[in-house]
Structure 1
């Protein structure tokens, strides 16, 4: 009898632990939108849970009056309740179009309310292509602020995702995307800024002569241009475009990068104190057991959500540490990285890292990226890392002595010096994929 009782207790404990672990893994695997739904569902089923409602009561009339007064250097709170500040919290939603998506990102980056007001005016002025069809002077006149401030905020808007947004011309749109991709090439930019029409007319010989480049280089430029999006707003043309909310944000503060959680992204929950006191005063054993069970369930949910936050933040901090060149210089400087390395560093199982990065997004100075973006099995099998290496390879060959072209082994050594460890065979493969001749053929050409 005693043995059976002991077995029942152990089985019951294992069941509770198993359920807690299952919920923990499920919550870690959830996207922000899925987590929000889960929190709301739990709050409906569990009376001891309280969900704090999000606020969006901005006093726009008062805010516009403030911007128009010219006091744009002052920090201003546009809420009717002065204790709240403008933040991304007001734009979180399941689905939104281009304007809401851009406003959400701007809300993460701008702390000054007057600056945010100017940025919103620019965003609202964009056409469906994502272009700004009016001048900064016109916007400044409409708001009653110096044009210089509008130009400063336009730079911010143009740094948002998708790349190319806020451009005033096709050329500017394409160049913005080049810079976002970490491609800095004066000749390519000059072609885009001055000779897109000549390029469209296939005047390749004239372009090669004008820019003193060979036909292979021009073809490479054409391939780059083909990868760019002439109308960045087009990705939002679907009436029910998905709005991706960042889980974490990386920004540069006082010369150094900081990573922090987007605390406004999910409803805040807490345990209602009334039920804590009721547990002490309840005389009915069944009522006590019910309250105790609900309190335990609520505590587990809160604990698992906090664990999710801690895990995602820890992984994000490690990404920042290992991919610093990316945050400094852009996609072109992304390094190959595998989940196993992060897992070992943080003391996690690799599957935990996989769950934590799946469907979670990071807002960076270079745009919005899924955390999974930063990982690859190896340089040769991950498209993003491979493309970064190809860009560097192309850059090395562009700068080589044309009379003494670099061999694949020499390029391999230069890549190794940059912290990229790939074989000579992989260099040859990437070179072929880029349409670049071998060193002996380049010398003859």
Structure 2
């Protein structure tokens, strides 16, 4: 084997730390950007971060309700847990020590659905009590609000709620207890046959059951309620739509004045060099913030231009659009467009939308490309307006989409969009008069 020494010339892109930082900042939403800048301020004595939030400590926002003049609550709000609500009701009852202790133990064994997690055998062993005493305490717990709490299953939960209603619920309870699987699968004709009643009479019982809450604990299983503030907004001013950035939620950087004399004066070389390096870092961060703002505005203006029909007429007029189209229009890389749209929200005349929602693959509609979400809007409208006694089949939806909207798609695609919208099939949407 002969060994040779060869020289090869090639071009490589060396990504500096500053460039990586600028790319990272681009994909942050307002809250993530604020956290990032506060982290930078801990390492750089020159940085002062100004935020619209009144209570900011360290690098995390205090999790409490914060309302601003743009009319939106930005972060999170603590709500009372299911256990706290049940303990509050327990404290209002006059019970002996043992009953109080047992029911409190049961409360802390309730899951997020509001169901008791452990079996009678497990509870008897853990509490060291007889079966009869356990059942008395469970019965007391099952009288608490929300109705149905303390059940072991959806069937028992619904039965408890039916027992609490001030009306005859015997047939509804029979449906739940004896024909539950048929009820879940909406086999209405089979249930009506078993109960020897008309479909119209059965419909009244079904409507009653559907008013119940099969998982009563879920309303309490939201210990933090999240709110989103838009990074951008699109408003119609006169005859034109304009893109505005929401500066009210954006952090700002300042250089602390007390260090300016050291930067400009005659001090120790090491101190001066250190502060000049940190000053360069601040300037770079400020430049990156401006570039981030400029890129967001450019991308959103391009989206506005491509989706003008949506902003003028609504979601049904959303057209097909890809990241590649915007990237080519702005002479940017697709990944830059993707980072710009990540976790960013836009306030539009038709509500709040995530930026990525404006990008969709399309279907043919009267010779034009229409976004799949627009087709889903059409399907939902047709289903909402249908005769519930004679619901539209998927094939009929295909025909109506073609006739009314010029949309040509297959029955299989209609079924897929219907599943996305969580609309059941025609047989399960059928109602009886």
When you count helix as a share of all residues, which structure comes out higher? 1
Structure (1 or 2) with the larger CA radius of gyration = 2
TM-score (norm. length: structure 2)? 0.49
